[in-house]
Structure 1
Amino acid sequence: MYKYGWTEATYNFQQNNFGNGGLSNDRVQMSVQDPGDVNNAEFLTLPEHPGTCRMYIWINSIPDRDGDLQNDIIVHEMTHGITNCLTGGGTARCLQTLESGGLGEGWSDAMAEWTEQKSATVSDYILGVWVTNNPAGICRYPYSTNPNVNPLRYSSLAQLGEVHDIGEVWANMLHNVYAALVQTYGWSSRAIDDATGSKGIVYLHLFTDAFPVMSHELVVMQARDAWIQADANRYNGANACILWNAFTSRGLGMLAANYVDDATVPAGC
Structure 2
Amino acid sequence: HGFSIRLTGGPSNSGCLNNVQQGGEGWSDLCGLFFTAKASDEAITPRGIGTYVLNQNPTTGIGIRPAQYTTNMDVNPYTYGDIATLSVPHGVGFVWATAVWEVYWNLVNEHGFEQNFYDVTSTAGNIKAIQLVVDGLKLQPCGPSFLDARDAILEADRNRYDGANKCLIWEGFAKRGMGYSAETSGPNTRSVTEGFDLPCACRAGGLETFEVSCNPSFFDTDPGESIEIICKVSSCSDSDITVELSCPNNPPGISCSFIPSQVSLPAGEIRSATLSSNINSNQPEGLYAFEVKATDTNNNMASSIINVAILDGPDAVYDDNLGAPKCSSVKSFCDSYTLLEGRAATLGPELNTPNTLDDCQDGTLGIYKDDESIERIFVHTVDGSDLVAGAKVKIEATVWAWSTGSADSADFYYTGDASSDSLDWIFIATRVPPDGGKQTLSVQYTL
Equivalent of 2:130 in 197, 200, 204 = 204
1:162-189 residue CA offsets vs partner (Å, 9 max, x unmatched): 2100011001111111111100011111
Letter of the 2:51 counterpart: V
Equivalent of 1:231 in 157, 179, 186 = 157
- 1:65-214, aligned counterparts within 5 Å? 80-90=1-11, 91-100=13-22, 103-119=23-39, 121-122=42-43, 123-134=45-56, 135-190=61-116, 192-199=117-124, 200-214=126-140
Deviation at 1:106, TM superposition (A): 0.7
Question: Distance between the aligned counterparts of 2:140 and 2:195, measured in 1?
Answer: 22
TM-score for the superposition, normalised by structure 2 = 0.41
Question: Distance between the aligned counterparts of 1:211 and 1:239, measured in 2?
Answer: 18
- SS of the residue corresponding to residue 150 of structure 1 reads coil
Q: Does structure 1 retain, via aligned residues, the 8 Å contact 2:114–2:122? A: no
Deviation at 1:213, TM superposition (A): 1.3
Q: Does structure 2 retain, via aligned residues, the 8 Å contact 1:99–1:220? A: yes
- SS of the residue corresponding to residue 199 of structure 2 reads coil
Deviation at 1:128, TM superposition (A): 1.5
Deviation at 1:104, TM superposition (A): 0.8
Question: Distance between the aligned counterparts of 1:121 and 1:160, measured in 2?
Answer: 27
Question: Distance between the aligned counterparts of 1:257 and 1:111, measured in 2?
Answer: 27
Greater share of helix:
1
Question: Distance between the aligned counterparts of 2:21 and 2:176, measured in 1?
Answer: 17
Question: Distance between the aligned counterparts of 2:201 and 2:143, measured in 1?
Answer: 32
Deviation at 1:240, TM superposition (A): 0.2
Q: Does structure 2 retain, via aligned residues, the 8 Å contact 1:98–1:161? A: no
Deviation at 1:265, TM superposition (A): 1.2
Match of 1:12 in 2: none
Deviation at 1:141, TM superposition (A): 0.3
Deviation at 1:204, TM superposition (A): 0.8
Letter of the 1:193 counterpart: Y
Letter of the 2:7 counterpart: L
Deviation at 1:150, TM superposition (A): 0.4
Deviation at 1:264, TM superposition (A): 2.3
Q: Give the ranges of 4+ consecutive aligned residues of structure 1 lying more than 4 Å apart after TM superposition.
A: none
Out of 154-163 and 110-119, give the one that drifted further: 154-163
Greater share of strand:
2
Match of 2:261 in 1: none
Question: Distance between the aligned counterparts of 2:163 and 2:193, measured in 1?
Answer: 26
Question: Distance between the aligned counterparts of 2:62 and 2:140, measured in 1?
Answer: 33
Deviation at 1:221, TM superposition (A): 0.4
Letter of the 1:265 counterpart: L
Question: Distance between the aligned counterparts of 1:131 and 1:156, measured in 2?
Answer: 25
Question: Distance between the aligned counterparts of 1:124 and 1:231, measured in 2?
Answer: 27
Deviation at 1:136, TM superposition (A): 2.1
Question: Distance between the aligned counterparts of 1:83 and 1:264, measured in 2?
Answer: 28
- SS of the residue corresponding to residue 215 of structure 1 reads coil
Deviation at 1:130, TM superposition (A): 2.1
Match of 2:171 in 1: 245
Question: Distance between the aligned counterparts of 2:145 and 2:123, measured in 1?
Answer: 29
**What is the aligned residue count?**
187
Deviation at 1:81, TM superposition (A): 0.5
Match of 1:222 in 2: 148
- SS of the residue corresponding to residue 180 of structure 1 reads helix
Out of 231-240 and 253-262, give the one that drifted further: 253-262
Letter of the 1:113 counterpart: L
Question: Relative contact order, CA 8 A, sep 6+: which one is greater?
Answer: 1
Gaps of 5+ in 1: 1-79
Letter of the 2:53 counterpart: V
Letter of the 2:29 counterpart: D
Gaps of 5+ in 2: 185-191, 203-447
CA RMSD of aligned residues (A): 1.2
Question: Distance between the aligned counterparts of 1:171 and 1:225, measured in 2?
Answer: 15
Q: Does structure 2 retain, via aligned residues, the 8 Å contact 1:254–1:264? A: yes
Letter of the 2:195 counterpart: D
Letter of the 1:112 counterpart: G
Question: Distance between the aligned counterparts of 2:2 and 2:134, measured in 1?
Answer: 13
Match of 1:260 in 2: 193
Match of 1:28 in 2: none
- SS of the residue corresponding to residue 98 of structure 1 reads coil
Q: Does structure 2 retain, via aligned residues, the 8 Å contact 1:154–1:261? A: yes
